[in-house]
Amino acid sequence: MRTYFDLTGRSALVTGAGAGIGAAVSEALAAAGASVLVTDISGDAASAVAERINTAGGKADSAALDVSDRDAAVAAAAQAAALGEGNLHIVVNNAGVTSPAMFPKLTDETFRLTFDIHVMGTFHVTQAALPHMPTDGTGRVINVTSAAGLTGTLGQVNYSAAKAGLIGFTKSLARELATKNIMVNALAPLAATPMTETIRTNEKFAANMMNRIPLKRWAEADEVAGAFVFLASDAASYITGQVLPVDGGMVM
Ligand SMILES: NC(=O)c1ccc[n+]([C@@H]2O[C@H](COP(=O)([O-])OP(=O)(O)OC[C@H]3O[C@@H](n4cnc5c(N)ncnc54)[C@H](O)[C@@H]3O)[C@@H](O)[C@H]2O)c1
């Protein structure tokens, strides 16, 4: 019988995995059988998540990785490949920050910061991973974009531009890597994490957000993590260049 979601024998590298969605995705990939390199700009946060996975019976290692640092990305990719006996099957480019301000107040500094982390970070980590990725159809790059990149968000021109940039990145790379049988997709999540704390708790923002979510609730990070397992799995072997919103119906 064909098993679609078993990731036993696959290795994964997840960025920004010390908290929120990245931590939940690391745990979900490990629960599906993958060996996971949990990375974050905070090495301590990454190591705590890896320890949780190992205590629960999964297999994980950790590394401090600031995705804007190309050399650190190269080292992390090699470390992740060592977990998979030389192969790195799954790369999840999840690390992210926001730096909101209305357009007239946006600075070069915050514009560059969002690009450095989201776009350049995804560039560094994916390019570092590529030499380790198998070409037998198990290779996956999963980029984390946002509704902001699909529909725009008030006060987030910098973040929206970076997240929309990742969609173009995903589609172009999907075309290039199709010849290597590596699937490249993006996922646009919505979840209750440290990043969304203000828009969930500030009265003014919270009601407006709830109006935009047809399912009328926030997901916990582990609820959106299953869609990452899907894109990483054999169930998604004929899907590439797509953007999958996992957001309670906010973007449709
Ligand atoms: N939470 C949502 O509803 C939502 C919605 C749309 C998109 N996203 C995207 O999902 C991803 C994860 O978001 P989250 O909500 O879990 O955020 P979060 O703030 O809870 O976690 C982000 C993690 O990234 C790490 N990080 C920050 N800068 C980094 C860097 N330079 N290098 C490596 N790690 C770094 C942080 O230390 C943190 O652990 C982000 O790309 C975010 O833009 C989230």
Q: Could you say which DSSP state residue 219 is in?
A: P
- Cα of 14 from ligand 1 centre, angstroms: 11
What pLDDT score was predicted for residue 28?
A: 98
Residue closest by Cα to atom 32 of ligand 1: 66
What pLDDT score was predicted for residue 57?
A: 98
Atom from ligand 1 closest to the CA of residue 67: 32
Contact assessment for residue 180 and residue 240, using Cβ atoms and an 8 Å cutoff:
no
What pLDDT score was predicted for residue 2?
A: 85
pLDDT in tens, the chain (252 residues): 889 999 999 999 999 999 999 999 999 999 999 999 999 999 999 999 999 999 999 999 999 999 999 999 999 999 999 999 999 999 999 999 999 999 999 999 999 999 999 999 999 999 999 999 999 999 999 999 999 999 999 999 999 999 999 999 999 999 999 999 999 999 999 999 999 999 999 988 899 999 999 999 999 999 999 999 999 999 999 999 999 999 999 999
Please report, in angstroms and rounded to a whole number, the separation of the first and last CA atoms in the chain: 34
- Cα of 97 from ligand 1 centre, angstroms: 6
What pLDDT score was predicted for residue 206?
A: 94
- Nearest Cα neighbor of 20 from 193, 241, 249, 143 is 193
Query: Which of 97, 112, 117, 228 maximizes ligand 1 atoms within 8 Å of its Cβ, making it the mutation to test the pocket?
Result: 97
What pLDDT score was predicted for residue 204?
A: 85
Active site residue 4: no
Side chain identity at 85, as an amino acid letter?
E
Listed in sequence order, the residues at least 6 apart from 35 whose beta carbon sits closer than 8 Å to its beta carbon are: 10, 11, 12, 59, 60, 61, 83, 84
Return the structure tokens found at 115.
């690009």
- Cα of 48 from ligand 1 centre, angstroms: 17
What pLDDT score was predicted for residue 145?
A: 98
Contact assessment for residue 144 and residue 21, using Cβ atoms and an 8 Å cutoff:
yes
41 lines ligand 1 (CB under 6 A): yes
166 lines ligand 1 (CB under 6 A): no
- Residue 217 exposed, middle or buried by CB count within 10 Å (0-12, 13-18, 19+): exposed
Side chain identity at 200, as an amino acid letter?
R
What pLDDT score was predicted for residue 15?
A: 99
User: Looking up tokens 């990452």, which residue turns up?
Assistant: 228
